[in-house]
Chain A
Amino acid sequence: MNSNAAIRTEGEARKSVRFGSRRDPRTSLILIVLLTLAVPTYAETNENYQASELKKLSLEQLFEMQVTTVSKKPEKLSETASAIQVITAEDIERSGASSLPEALRLAPNLQVAQVNSHDWAITARGFNAAPLSNNSLADKLLVMIDGRSVYTPLFGGVFWDVQNVLLEDIDHIEVISGPGATLWGDNAINGVINVVTKSARDTQGLYVAGAGGSFLQDFGGLRYGGSVNSNFFFRLYGQRFDREHTDLPNGDSAEDAWDMTQGGFRADYYPSDDNTMTLQGDFYGGDEGTPTVTLVDGQNVLGRWTHVFSYESDLSVQAYYDRTWRNLPGASFSDNLKTYDIDLQHRFPLGERQSIVWGAGYRLMRDEVNNTAALSFAPENRNLQLFNIFLQDEITVIDERLKLTLGSKLEHNDYSGFEVQPSARLAWTPTTRQTVWAAVSRAVRSPARFDADEVTPFITTPQHEFDSEKVIAYELGYRARPFDKLTFSLAGYFNHYYDLRSVDLNAAPPPALVFANDQKANTWGVEVSGNFQATSWWRWRGGYDYLHEDISATSAAVVPGSDTFEAIDPRHQFLIQSMMDLPAHFQFDLVGRYAEALQATALTPRVPSYFTFDARLAWQFKNWELAVVGQNLYDNQHPEFGALQIPRSVYGKVTCRF
C-alpha cells in the first residue's frame, strides 16, 4: 500500500508513471513537472528557504539543510501529451477526505459517486456501469497502488472497499483521463489512477490519529517510521475504521455499516546512489453489511529494484503477489483471487533526439469462485495469464518546442488473444508557459470472467464467445500557466468504441440473456481544470466536465436498455476546492461539487442532480492538529448512484506527528 520513493525529493517520472517509484534526481522529470503543474505554488509558498536566504547561511548550516522537492526544469511542466491531473497530499488533507474514494472526488477528470456505505462507482470519461452487488460494473479504468494493479479480472473493475491506504502516507495521486494503455497497461481504456505513497525516508517519525463522528464512526491510524542507517529506511502502520449505514429511500437503514482493519510496512534501501530497492506489503480484513454480512480479507507484498545508468537511462524490475478474498454468506458466493506479477522497464536514449522506453510483463491470476444459484461461472476456478511487451519512442522534433511520442503495446490474454494498443502523441510547447497537445490511441478492454465465463444470470456459450471491447480515442489539449499563480488545462476528446458489450437475447432456445459485442458508442466531452493561488494563504482548484454519450446497437438481438447497462453518467459535473490558511494556525477549507441527474435504468432509479459540499476547520499547534470536518453538508441526505441515501455527516479528528 505504500510505495513510491522520494518522488518529491528528486526527479522521477516516466518510470513512476508505470512503477510508481524511483529515487535518482537525474532520472525522468515529467512527474515533478506534473506536480509543479498541478500545484504551482505548493512547494513555493510555505516551507522552503528561498535561495537568497540560503545564501546568507554558513557552510555548516547548508550541509545540515533538509532537502525537499526538486523542481528541475519547471518550465518543462507542460510537455506531457495527456490529460493528467495530480491530487497532492495537501489537497487530500485539506479536503477532509477519510478514504481513498473520497480523495478521488478531488480529481476533476473522474466521475465519482458513492453507491452505499462501502461501494463506489468511479470512472473517467463515462461508462460508470450498472451495479453488481452494489459495486458499479465500471470496467474501463486501470487502477494502481504503488504499481500494483488492483482491478479484478472477475469483472474488470475495482472493489473499492478493499483499496485502503493510510491517507497520511499518500504522496500524490495521478489521474489520467483517456487511454493510457500503451505505457501503463491493460484495462487503461478510459483512464488510469496511480496512487503513489511516500517513501519510507519521507515518513520518518511517529504519526497517531484518531477520529470519531456520525458517519465515520471511528478511525484510528498509527504509523512509525525509522531508519537502520542513512541508506535504509522503514515504516510500519496500522489503521482501523467503522462506518455507519446509509438509508433506504423510505428512511430505513440499508444495513450496510462496515469496518476494516489494515496494517502494513514499507522499506526503502539505497545501497548506492544509483540503486533503489523497495519492499512493501499490506494486509487487511473487514466485514460489511450488504445487508447480509460480507467478509473480506487480503494480503499483498511487492518488491521493486531500480537502477539508474544515467540521466537518460534506467532499468526497473518489479514483482508482486496479491491475494484478495471476499464472500457473501447470505448468497454463499465467494471469490478468491491470487495474482502473481512481474514487470520490467528500461529507458535509454537513442541518438541525440530519441528516448526509448520499453518493457515487458507477465501476470498470473488464479481466480476461484464458489458458485451459487444467483451467480455462477464456468469453470469455477480459472488461471488467467497476461503477457505484455511495449515500446515507446519519444522524439524531439524541435528542441524544447515539439515532441512526438510513438508507441505500442502488444498484449496477450487468455480470452481474446493478441491485442495491439498503439498511440501517437504530439506536444507543442510554443512558450515555456503553454503547451498544445494532441493524441490518437487505440485501447482495448480485454474480457473479464463476468463477460466470458458466466453461466448465471447471463449465459455464456461457445456461440457467444465474448471479444475484447475497443476504442479509438482522439484527444486535443491545452495547458497553460498564464501567470505564476494560475495554471489551467483544457482537454477535449472524441472516442469511438466498437465491439462494446451488449446484453442480447439468445436466438437459440431456451430463451436466455447472453453477453455479446453488439454495441458501439461515440462519446465526446470537455474537461476543464485549474489551480489558482489567490494569495499566499488562499488556494483554489477545481474543474468542470462535460460528457456526451451515444450508444447504439449493431444487432437486432440486443435487448432494449442494454445501453444503460453500460453507462450511467452525469452530463455535467463541477468541482471546486478552497484552501485557506487563517491567522493563529487555523485552516478553513471547502470542497463543493455538483453532478447532473442520472437517468433511470432497468436496475437503478433516476438519481436527481445534486450539489453538496464538505467543510474543514483545523487548528495546528506544534505537533498537534485538531480538525472538525463536515461532509455532504448541503442536504440532509442525497443519493449519488442508485437509491441509497448518503447522509450529511460530521467527524472530529486529532492528529499528532512527532
Chain B
Amino acid sequence: MGQVRFAACGAAGLLALALAGSSASEFQNRTARENDLKAVFLFNFTQFVQWPADAFADVSDPFVIGILGDDPFGSTLKEVVAKETVGKHKIVVRHYQDVRDIANCQMLFISPSESLRLNHIFEHLRGRSILSVGETESFLAHGGMIRFLLVGNKLHLQINLETAKAAHLTISSQLLRQAEVLGPAPRKQ
C-alpha cells in the first residue's frame, strides 16, 4: 500500500517536471566564494607588481605561483592563470611542502597550514624576489608582503611595502590605493 502511494507521489513529481520548462531562474545579488576571489587576486598581483629582471634565471623560465602547504584553491587557481603570461613568461602553479624545495618562483602563497613555521620559511626566502602572500595575523610581522584579510564580508589587503621593496618588487599604486599599507615590520632577530 505504501509503495502504491509513493508511486502516486512520484507521478506527481514527474508531472510537475513536465510543467517546469527548462529555464533556470535569474541570479540575484551575486557574490563570490572567498577562495575564488583570492585566486583571482593572486592572478591580479602578477599584473600589478613588477619583478626585477633577475627574478628569472632564464627568459624561457615560467612565472611560478607557488603554494606552500595545503592548497585551498583546488583547481580554481590553475584555471584562472591558464594561458596567462607575465611579459613573456607563462604562468604556472606549483606546489611545495618544504620551503627548501623552492627554486624558480616569483610569487608564493603561504598556506595558513604553515603558520607555525613562518620564521623558518622567511629565513629561506630572505633576499629573494618572491612576492609572499598569506593570511595569518602575524604574517606581515614575520616578513610577509601581502596579507588577505576578511573584514565584514569583504576581502581586504594589507601590504608591507618595506619588505616588498627590500625584495626589489614594485607594487603598482593602483593596488596600493586599495590596500592598507603598513610600515616596516618589527623583525624578529
Contacts and interface: CB of A to CB of B under 8 A. Distances in A.
Nearest to A44: B33
B79 A51 contact: yes
Contact of A47 (B30, B37, B111): B30
A332 interface: no
B9 A65 contact: no
A484 interface: no
A67 B154 contact: yes
Interface in B67-97: 70-72, 74, 76, 79-80
A69 B70 contact: no
B72 A72 contact: yes
Interface stretch (B21-29, B52-60, B123-131): B21-29
Given A26-B136, A51-B76, A273-B149, A594 B2 contact: yes
Contacts of A609: 1-2
B160 to A, nearest CB: 15
Contacts of B153: 6, 9, 66-68, 201-202
Given A66-B153, A634-B5, A59 B32 contact: no
A64 B149 CA distance: 14
B7 to A, nearest CB: 10
B105 to A, nearest CB: 21
Majority DSSP secondary structure for residues of A touching B: mixed
Interface string A276-320: 000000000000000000000000000000000011100000000
Nearest to A72: B72
A588 B16 contact: yes
A349 B17 CA distance: 50
A interface residue count range (under 10 / 10 to 19 / 20 to 34 / 35 or more): 35 or more
Contact of B20 (A69, A574, A580, A613): A580
Contacts of B2: 594, 596, 609, 611
A592 interface: yes
Contacts of A63: 154-156, 178
Contacts of B79: 51-52
B104 interface: no
Interface string B133-173: 00111000000000001111111100000000000000000
A538 B37 contact: no
Interface in A14-68: 25-26, 43, 46-52, 54-55, 57, 59-60, 62-68
A226 interface: no
B31 A48 contact: yes
Interface in A323-354: 349
B175 A59 contact: yes
B44 interface: yes
Contacts of A218: none
A10 interface: yes
A73 B151 CA distance: 22
Nearest to B70: A73
A63 B43 CA distance: 14
Nearest to A66: B31
Given A62-B37, A66-B154, A54 B32 contact: yes
A310 B112 contact: yes
B21 A583 contact: yes
B103 interface: no
A54 B36 contact: yes
Interface of A: 6, 9-10, 25-26, 43, 46-52, 54-55, 57, 59-60, 62-75, 201-202, 227, 230-231, 272-274, 310-312, 349, 535-538, 574, 576, 578, 580-583, 585, 587-588, 590, 592, 594, 596, 609, 611, 613, 634
Given A47-B30, A311-B111, 6 more contacts: A9-B34, A62-B40, A69-B34, A72-B35, A349-B116, A582-B25
10 contacts: A62-B37, A70-B33, A73-B70, A202-B153, A273-B137, A310-B112, A582-B19, A583-B25, A588-B20, A611-B5
